[in-house]
Amino acid sequence: MRKYPVSLRFLGSSLAAVTLLVATGAGAAERPLSGQAYRIADEAYKAFAQGEYDVAAAKAREAIRLRPDVARLRDLLQKAELARRTMQAQLAFNASAASYQALERRDFAQAVELARKAVDYLPAVPAFRIALINALVAAGELEQAEQAASDMIKPDTSSSEALLLRGAIRQQRGAVESAQTDFDQALSSAGPAAQRGIRLVAADAALANGDPQRALRLLEPLQGREDKEAAARRALATIMRGRSGTSHAALAFSFPLVSCTSGPDLVSACDINPGATSADPGFMLADQAYRAFADKNYALASSKAGEATQLSPRDLSYRRLQVQALSAQGSLAEAEQAANAALADFGNDADMLLARADIRKRRGNLDAAQADYAAVLSAPDKTTRTEISALIGLGRKEDARARLAAAASSPEKGSELELAYLALQAGDNQDALELFNRAEAQGTLTDAARHDAAYTAARQGRNEQAIGYLNRTVDAAQAGRLTLDAQQVYDVRRESADLERRWGMRATLSDRGVAAAGIGVPRGGTIDGKDIAAEVYWRPFGLQNGALVEVYGRVNETLSGGSGVPTGSATAQAALGARVKPFSEVNAILALERLVPLGDATSGDWLARAGFSSDAGLDLHAEQTSWLSTHVYAEAGHYFQHPQSYATLEGQLGRSYRLGESGSTLVLFPHLVMGADYDSGLIEHDKKAIGSGIGTNMRYWFRQDYYNAPRSYFDLSLQYRWRIAGDKRAEGWFIRLSASY
C-alpha cells in the first residue's frame, strides 16, 4: 500500500493567542462614538468576542465609513481580518491533514472532499492544490486531476510541480506527446532543487513509452554522481536501446508522489519522489554486463550477458549484448554460434543479422557476410539505421547515402543524432555535421555526441565550430556530465589549441646540429659553429583536417665557427617561403623558399625542402609522472642556383619525467640519440657524419587556459655523441636552446 505522508503542517499562532484591547488607545483628539456609529461598532466588538470574524470585519468597515477619524475602529478591522485568515488557515491545514489520513485509510472519496475544503479555505496556497491533485489521482479521477493541475498552471506563475503532475496524469491517460511537453516545460521552469526529480519522472515516462534515447538524454545531466536511481534508469535505457523489434514486456509507468510542506508564511516547498523502476529477472546481470563492456572487460561482459540470457531467454537485447561482448573479446566462433542461436529463436532480427555479418566478415567468410547484409534489407524489423548499415556492408555506398539523405530530409523526432552517426559510417562528414548541428539546435545532442561532432567539424575544416563543441565537451567533463579521464580532457584541450592556432614564432640558438632544429641548414654546412635562427609563420587557412599551409619568414646567422668560417652579420641570411602539410595522418612537409642575402658572406638562392617527423610522448601527460617518449626527425633539401644538397636525421628514445608537483609543466627527457647528416657542399670534410650518444631535454610548457592545453614552450637540449662513421662533426657536444610561441 502506498504511503501518503501528512506533509502539510501549521506552525502559526493559535486563535487563543490573538488578543484585542478594544477600549484603549483612543487619542485625546478623537470625538466619542455616538449614534449609529456607536451601535455598529458595538456590534462589531461583540461579533469579534464571539469568534464571528467575518461579521466583525464587515461591521468594522461600516463603522469606519461613518467615523473614519477613529483609529481604534481601523485597529479592530485589522485584527478581525487577521483572526479570520488565521482561522481559515487552521481549518485548511486541518482539512488537508485529514485528507492525507483518509488516503492512508484508502478512503479516496473522503480524501478528495477534505482536500477540496482545504483549497476552498486557502485557494492561493499551492500545497493544498497539490494535495487535491494527489487525492484525485489516488481516487482514479484522472480527468479531474488533470483539470486541477491545469488550474495551477498560469502563464505568469507556472508551477513546475503542477506541470510535472499534469504530465504524469497525461502519461497515465496515454497522451504521450502532451505529457512530454509538460515534462519539458517543468524542467525549463523548475529551480535546481527540483530538476533531479523531474528528470527521473520524465525518464520513467520515456522508458514506459519505449523511448530509451529520450530517457538517456533526460538522465545525462545526472551522470558523474553517486545517484543510484539515475544509474538504474540509465541501465534500463541502455538495455532497452537494443530491444528494437524485440517482443518484451513494456515497463509500467509508476506515478510519482509530490509532497509539499507549508509554514506560517504559507509558502510551499515540495519534494518530488519518482516511482520505483521495475525490471525483468535478468536486468541486474545485464546491467553488470553493460558496465563491464563500458570498462572494456569483455570477458566479464560476455559472461554476465550469458547469465542474463539464461534468466530472461526471451529478451533479445541480452542476446545482442552477449554477441557484441564475445565479438569485442575476439571470440568470433562463439559469437557467431550465439548469433546463430538467437536468429533461430527469434527469426531474422535485423540487428542480430548485422552483428553476424560483421563477425563473418572478420572471420573471412565474405559470401556469408554478404548474405546476412542482404537479409537485413528484407528483415521485417529493419530500420533506417539497419538498412543504411547493410547497404554500406554490401558496398552500395551511393544507395546508402541516398537513403540517408531521404531520412535526413524529414527525420523522425529526435532521430538526427542516430542519422549523424550513420552518415559518419557512410563516410559523409558534411551531412553528419549538419545533422549534429540540427540535434544541437533541438537540444537533443548529448555531451558524448558533442565530442564526436567537434571532430566531425574539424574534418570539414569548420574550426570555429569544432572549437565551440570542444569547449562544451570540456565543460561537460568538468561538470561530471561526461565521463572522460584527465588525459582525455587534456587531449580535447590540445585539439582545441591546435585548431585555434593561426600564427606562431620559433627561435633556436644551437652549438652544432643546426639541422636538427628543423628550420633549415645554412649554406656551407657549419662544422663547429654556433648559430641562431628565428622564424615567424602564418597559417592563412588554419588547420584543415590535419593538413595545413604556412607562409613564413626566417632570419639566421652564424655566431661563431671553425677556422676560416665567416661569422657575424656577414653570415646573416633571410628566407621567405611557404610550406604545406598535404596529408592529414602523415606528418610530412614540403617547402619552397627564397633565400635573401643580408650579409656579404651569403648569396641568394632557391631552396626546396622535404621533412618528416614522428613523435610519441613529447606532449604533456595529464596524470602520469613519467612516460615513454620517442622523436624522429628527417629533412632533405636542395639549393638550385648554387647546386648543393643536404640531408639530416635525428632519432631520440627515452622516458619523460614531470618535475615538481602535480600539474607542473616542467618535463625532463633523458634519452638515447642517434644522428646523421649529409652535405654535398663540403669539400675538405667527409660529406656524411653519423653519431650516437646520450642526452637530455628540459622543456617548460606555458600559455594554457581552461579550454586550451599549453601552446608554447622553452626547450634546452644537451647531448653528447660518439662518432660511428664519417666526419668528426658527428662527435662531441650538441646543445640547443629553442623557444616556440
pLDDT tens readout for residues 81-105: 686 666 667 777 777 778 778 877 8
Which residue's entry shows cell 597559417?
539
Secondary element (H or E) of residue 437: helix 429-442
Secondary element (H or E) of residue 697: strand 688-702
Note whether 629 and 618 are within 8 A (CB): yes
Q: How far apart, in whole angstroms, are the C-alpha atoms of residue 257 and residue 275?
A: 7
Cell triple for residue 180?
512530454
Average pLDDT of the residues in 4-30: 38
- Among 377, 399, 374, which residue's Cα sits nearest to residue 387? 377
- Among 478, 473, 514, which residue's Cα sits nearest to residue 496? 473
Q: How far apart, in whole angstroms, are the C-alpha atoms of residue 338 and residue 343?
A: 9
> Can you spell out the DSSP letters for 441-479?
HHT---HHHHHHHHHHHHHTT-HHHHHHHHHHHHHHHHH
pLDDT tens readout for residues 127-142: 888 888 888 888 888 8
The pLDDT, as a whole number, for residue 439 is 86
Does the structure show a pLDDT above 60 at 174? yes
Higher pLDDT, 192 or 581: 581
Average pLDDT of the residues in 441-462: 88
Question: CB count, 10 Å around CB of 674?
Answer: 17
The pLDDT, as a whole number, for residue 258 is 85
- Among 299, 276, 301, which residue's Cα sits nearest to residue 309? 301
The pLDDT, as a whole number, for residue 524 is 41
Cell triple for residue 20?
484585542
Q: How far apart, in whole angstroms, are the C-alpha atoms of residue 316 and residue 349?
A: 9
Higher pLDDT, 337 or 173: 337
Beta-strand (E) ranges in 378-516?
Answer: 503-511
Higher pLDDT, 251 or 653: 653
Residue 585: pLDDT band with limits 50, 70, 90: confident
Give 111-134 as a 3 state SS string.
HHHHHHHHHHHCCCCHHHHHHHHH
Which residue's entry shows cell 604545406?
580
Number of H helices, E strands in the chain: 24, 14
- Among 181, 182, 179, 235, which residue's Cα sits nearest to residue 205? 179
**Nearby residues of 424 by Cβ (< 8 Å), 6 or more positions away:** 432, 452, 456
Which residue's entry shows cell 559518419?
424
Note whether 198 and 219 are within 8 A (CB): no
pLDDT tens readout for residues 280-330: 667 778 878 887 887 789 999 999 899 888 888 888 888 999 999 999 999
Higher pLDDT, 70 or 572: 572
Q: Which SS3 state, helix, strand or coil, does residue 737 take?
A: strand
Domains of the chain and any CATH numbers: 283-498 (1.25.40.10), 499-740 (2.40.128)
Q: How far apart, in whole angstroms, are the C-alpha atoms of residue 516 and residue 677?
A: 10
Note whether 544 and 461 are within 8 A (CB): yes
The pLDDT, as a whole number, for residue 666 is 96
Where is mean pLDDT largest: 409-413, 543-547, 710-714? 710-714
**Nearby residues of 611 by Cβ (< 8 Å), 6 or more positions away:** 518, 588, 589, 591, 633, 634, 635, 636
Q: How far apart, in whole angstroms, are the C-alpha atoms of residue 170 and residue 321?
A: 34
pLDDT tens readout for residues 211-248: 888 998 899 888 765 777 888 888 888 877 755 444 34
